[in-house]
């Protein structure tokens, strides 16, 4: 029997919730053709509220950068983790995402009593956990996690662009834009391209 790498989440309130620290978890980078998938876990401090938290995709890059610094300064603790391109290709993107989330939770300095994860899947954890569809727009701690993950991954793309400028990572952040696909066809794949993703696999044939 194949081992289960993730759990299908129930979208109902958990009757055995306990009071205590709550961590929000989200990821960035499931869709791109290159680079790691990044996850973040955040435990906010109620004494130091952060205004303007929202789904990172709905914020401008400048606003995300400012909130990134504020979250790092005001949160009780936060953790950013990733799964590599090699892990994405060997596990598949969903299971690699679950692995990155698990690493982010395990990297928290404080252990939460509950973890709330954006989406409808849960990584396997030894902590009470709940999945929240569209949680990045509903739960401030998940919004904060989405911002940390997005900014961290965008910065990674900016740095990688310096090494492989011909692909334009600073602009498309690894997504399969027309310019990125054209660069793939012209230059082939680089070490950070996900070989298990169809557009990359095609140029490797």
70 alpha carbon, distance to own chain's centre: 18
Q: 50 — phi, psi (to 5°)?
A: -115, 120
Q: Which residues have CB under 8 Å from 49's CB, separation 6+?
A: none
**Tens digit of pLDDT for each residue in 157-196?**
999 999 999 999 999 999 999 999 999 999 999 999 999 9
**Tens digit of pLDDT for each residue in 116-140?**
999 999 999 999 999 999 999 999 9
Closest of 78, 75, 79, 96 to residue 87, by C-alpha? 96
If pLDDT is split at 50, 70 and 90, which confidence band does 14 have? Answer: very low
Entry pTM: 0.89
């Amino acid at each position: 029997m194949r081992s289960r790498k993730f759990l299908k989440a129930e979208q109902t309130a958990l009757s055995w919730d306990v009071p205590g620290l709550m961590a929000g978890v989200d990821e960035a980078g499931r869709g791109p053709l290159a680079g790691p998938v990044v996850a973040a876990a955040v435990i906010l401090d109620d004494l130091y509220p952060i205004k303007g938290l929202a789904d990172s995709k709905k914020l401008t890059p400048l606003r995300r950068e400012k909130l990134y610094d504020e979250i790092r300064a005001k949160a009780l603790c936060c953790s950013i983790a990733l799964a590599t391109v090699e892990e994405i290709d060997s596990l598949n993107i969903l299971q690699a995402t679950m692995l990155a989330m698990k690493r982010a939770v395990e990297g928290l300095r404080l252990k939460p009593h509950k973890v709330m994860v954006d989406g409808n899947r849960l990584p396997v954890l030894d902590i009470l956990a709940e999945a929240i569809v569209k949680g990045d727009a509903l739960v401030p701690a998940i919004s904060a996690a989405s911002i940390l993950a997005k900014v961290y991954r965008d910065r990674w793309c900016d740095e990688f662009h310096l090494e492989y400028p011909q692909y334009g990572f600073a602009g498309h952040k690894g997504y399969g834009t027309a310019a990125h696909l054209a660069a793939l066809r012209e230059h082939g794949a680089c070490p950070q391209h996900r070989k298990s993703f169809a557009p990359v696999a095609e140029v490797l044939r």
